[in-house]
Amino acid sequence: MTRHLFTVTLAGLLLTAGCDETPKNTVATTAEGLWNGSTNTNRTMTIAVLDDGTSYFFYSDQGNAATVAGVLQGAGSSSNGNYTAAAVRDFRVGAAPLDAAISGTYSARQSFNGTISYPSSGTVGFTSGYNTSYDTQPTIASLAGVYQGLASSSGGSQAASIAVQSDGTFTGSEQNNCTFTGKATLRAKGNVLDQTITFGGFPCFFGNATFQGIVIRDVATNRLYTAAPNGARTDAAIFFGTRIF
């Protein structure tokens, strides 16, 4: 099934080169930031906690860090070293989403550890450390380029590509000839971008729909991660890939 090009778009937008990013000195007292870690089930995690408390937990297949098997997303809050997010959705690639909750403890800009609880299948533990790339902010112009990777949703995955212009607008296509357009914009702080994407009609999996979400770039590995749930939070567009030129 078609994966959201939306994801691809987001990915492309965050693929900016480090030399085009602007340092931002932020005194954090919450769990806000980018975090890299792993679970006690042998999955790697790339985590973004935004300044409003919303979190995105990208996780890999078991034992294979070079994949994305899904993303947990939900609104949360930080207080006195504790982070909680009750109404979380686990958007799994190739499967229906699950309800979940996240609870953890953090030391601002140092560590973020906790558990992911599923009503019907127990808990998963995670540990992570702070990724200082969050302390920089990309420029829109530096996002220009062509990106390739896998776009995913509950329907599965397929190859996708996107061309990003210097003003953040983009066009893209998926392997099944689904096309889309959109635009990426900077957030007020942090190395995370917002994105809006609109899909074309058939054969797009999310035909004629418009979604909003985020895109993040792992500076150390030069990988891009993007995710955007639909309004009803019954599915999400997920992308994992790299810039080709």
**Burial degree of 1 (CB within 10 A; 0-12, 13-18, 19+):** middle
**Domain end residue (candidates: 73, 104, 134):** 134
Q: Are residues 73 and 150 in the same domain?
A: no
Q: Give the domain CATH number at 192.
A: 2.40.128
CA–CA–CA angle 230, 164, 69 (5° rounding): 45
Q: Are residues 40 and 116 in the same domain?
A: yes
Domain with 113, as residue range(s), is 26-134
Q: Are residues 150 and 58 in the same domain?
A: no
Look at residue 221 in the predicted model and tell me its pLDDT: 79
Q: Are residues 61 and 116 in the same domain?
A: yes
**Cβ proximity of 241 and 224 under 8 Å:** yes
Q: Are residues 176 and 189 in the same domain?
A: yes
Per-position pLDDT tens, the chain of length 245: 434 433 333 433 333 333 345 545 445 799 999 999 999 999 999 999 999 999 999 999 999 999 999 999 999 999 999 999 999 999 999 999 999 999 999 999 999 999 999 998 899 999 999 999 999 877 887 777 788 899 999 999 999 987 878 888 888 899 999 998 888 899 998 888 998 888 999 999 999 999 999 988 776 777 878 899 999 999 999 988 888 88
Strands 33-39 and 122-131: antiparallel
Rounded Cα gap, residues 92 and 171, in angstroms: 25
Rounded Cα gap, residues 174 and 158, in angstroms: 7
What is the number of structural domains in the chain?
Answer: 2
Q: Are residues 182 and 220 in the same domain?
A: yes
Look at residue 117 in the predicted model and tell me its pLDDT: 98
